[in-house]
Structure 1
Amino acid sequence: MDLVARAPRLPRPGETLAGHAFAQVAGGKGGNQAVAAARLGAQVAMLGCVGADANGAQLRAGLEAEGIDCTALDTSPGAPTGVALIVVDDGSQNAIVIVAGSNGEVTPASIVRHEAVLAAAAVVICQLETPNPTVEAALATARRLGKTTILNPAPATGPLPAAWFPLIDYLIPNELEVATLSGVPVASAADAALAAAALRDAGARNVIVTLGAQGVYVALEHGEATHYPAPRVDAIDTTGAGDTFIGGFAAQLAGGAPLDDAIRFAQRAAAISVTRAGAQPSIPTRAELDN
């Protein structure tokens, strides 16, 4: 659950700021990406865990209202539903602190128990808001089952385990995450190219770096590298833009779209999302992109 405060700017360490708005909205990277994929044309199942609390009930109901299969969304009897504390400034930038809660109870055993959900999928998306052993188990199971795999390495705290790279078809970090993973500071598309090259050298197959207003940098396994400029929009809130991109990209891949079309479609969806407030409330529908 996202607890979102808007303030003139992001606070400095030790500083208290007066905010001017607050909202509580459904969030979580996995939840956001699931909603994005569903709204943008895919059939979606969510594998995860919520708490036996009001937040958990609200999140489950919200996913089901989007037509998402929640049979693999477990309920923890003891841990609270995960929350994200988000501050958004008047320049539309954000700072986020995540408290995992019940997300920490998604285990490798959960992957075994719900393997049928993965077996029915065309594309499997993972993030790092569940424990690393669980992410590895999900990626390994998806690879064994012959599925296309996407990893959004967020939140990124350091390099990925080397054993993960052969399990990932598309590694999709943002500029901060790719810098953490590669050790290469990123302030431009040229920097993103260096960081993506470092990840390719580490074993990544395909790297897609989302750069916000600077677009997307794509480094593919056969050596092709392309910078896709971002559509020009007046941004209000960037929260959830990366999740919208990933959900839209995955939906297009699952539907058999060419890679170039999938990237451009996902960019258009993300561009619409930043013109609206909130994470899941900002995600557009397929009909909006088709018009």
Structure 2
Amino acid sequence: MAEQSLVCIGNLTIDEAIHGGINNGPAMGGDAAYAALAARLFLDDVRMFAPVGADLPSGLLAQLSAAGVNTDDLPTRDLPTVRNVIDYAADGSRTWHLQCSEADFDGMSVYPEDVPEQVLTADGIVLLAMSLPSQLALTPWLRARSTATVYLDVQEDYLDGNRPALHRMISCCDVFLPSEIEALALTGCSDIADAAAVLRELGPQTVVITRAERGVLLLTGDGPAIEIGVDTVDPLDSTGAGDAFCGAFAAVHVRTGNPVAAVEAASSAARIAIGAYGIDGLLAAATTTASAAASAAGTAATTAAGTSRRGVHR
């Protein structure tokens, strides 16, 4: 059976996290990178698809490639890389400060005209939070042109006043992965299980609601919602935890079809993500995974060659 393939579509960004009033400095981030690296921990054939800005740090794409992430045929933009400052409060809540215009952020998002044929032939596509116009354009376009399982993430900043359009977008995905805050805002429900049921009625076969330290609420098929607990750790930087969760969930789900196993894998990837600033923790873990796979492949090839030679001598 051929290995399943996954594409993670989103942004590349440079982020500065502020904890307790202390700015920890710029770190490479972006939902596409977090998701693709997390997916690579569980799946060999992973492609990242995100626009490349004019000032993207040199060497980043080579690092991602060394970690086993395919970065071929990325669209380029004559715009600076998106930068964010994320201010964390003592209770763990955060405020995002976009350091570019909304127009430039939209320009650094993916639109249908950017997407090559190779993306459409993947077994799974993770569509991560970008500008709202780009996601509203891209999600139904992908649904109409690909048989891939579509995994959809959103961001809470654009929810207000856009519920009907977002509901139409959600109807085009197979698996919807909102946070608890997003699920309640999208449905107007006060109960998270009710919110999950409303979201499933929009069309997704599976709804996966992340609830931070309270775990995950999973609703799939016609069955009841189930709660899945997660191990918690003290985060160093939780900026990309949700993106890592989405990527790892999609990787295991597209490979096995088992949403519970996918939640467990996704939770482990999120823990790796929050243990370092930016993508550094996931990059190190994925690079180790890729190196181990290459070593195993080399050993297998050597063994096969030896067996073949012995067969000739017989």
Normalising by structure 1, we get a TM-score of 0.80
Corresponding residue number in structure 2 for 1:83: 83
Cα distance between partner residues in 1 of 2:30 and 2:17: 16
Q: Which runs of 5+ in 1 are unaligned?
A: 9-18, 186-190
Other structure's SS at 1:49 match: coil
Describe the superposition over 1:46-86 as per-residue Cα deviations: whole angstroms up to 9, x where unpaired: 22212111x35454344334232222321112x21112211
Give the superposition deviation at 1:133.
4.4
Q: What letter corresponds to residue 24 of structure 2 in structure 1?
A: F
Could you say which structure has the greater relative contact order, defined with CA pairs below 8 angstroms and 6 or more residues apart?
2
Asked if structure 2 preserves the Cα contact closer than 8 Å seen for 1:44 and 1:69, the reply is yes
Counterparts of 1:192-211 in structure 2 under 5 Å?
A: 192-211=192-211
CA distance in 2, matches of 1:238, 1:93: 10
For 1:163 and 1:20, the matched residues in 2 are separated by: 41
- Measure, in 2, the Cα distance between the counterparts of 1:108 and 1:131: 14
RMSD between superposed Cα atoms in Å: 2.7
Cα shift at 1:227: 0.6
Is there any run of 5+ residues in structure 2 with no aligned partner, and where?
A: 1-12, 290-314
Q: Give the 5 Å matches for 1:1-291.
A: 1-8=13-20, 19-53=21-55, 55=56, 57=58, 59-77=60-78, 79-89=79-89, 92-98=92-98, 99=100, 101=104, 104-105=107-108, 106-111=110-115, 114-119=116-121, 121-133=122-134, 136-142=137-143, 144-158=145-159, 159=163, 160-185=165-190, 191-256=191-256, 258-274=258-274, 276-283=275-282, 285=285
Query: 2:180 touches 2:210 (CA, 8 Å); kept in 1?
Result: yes
Determine if contact 1:128/1:155 at 8 Å carries over to the other structure: no
Shift of 1:7: 3.4
Matched residue pairs, number? 267
**Amino acid in the other structure paired with 1:45:** R
Structure 2 vs 1, CA of residues 239 and 227 (structure 1 numbering), >3 Å: closer, same or farther?
same
Q: Percent identity?
A: 27
Q: Looking at CA atoms only, which structure, 1 or 2, has the larger radius of gyration?
A: 2
Deviations 1:109-164 (A, max 9, x none): 112xx122221x11100023145345543553355321111001124522244433
SS in structure 2 of the partner of residue 203 of structure 1:
coil
| Conservation of the 8 A alpha-carbon contact between 1:86 and 1:95 | yes
Question: Helix, strand or coil: the match of 2:97?
Answer: strand
What code does the residue aligned with 2:113 have? A
1:45 & 1:278 partners in 2: Cα distance?
A: 22
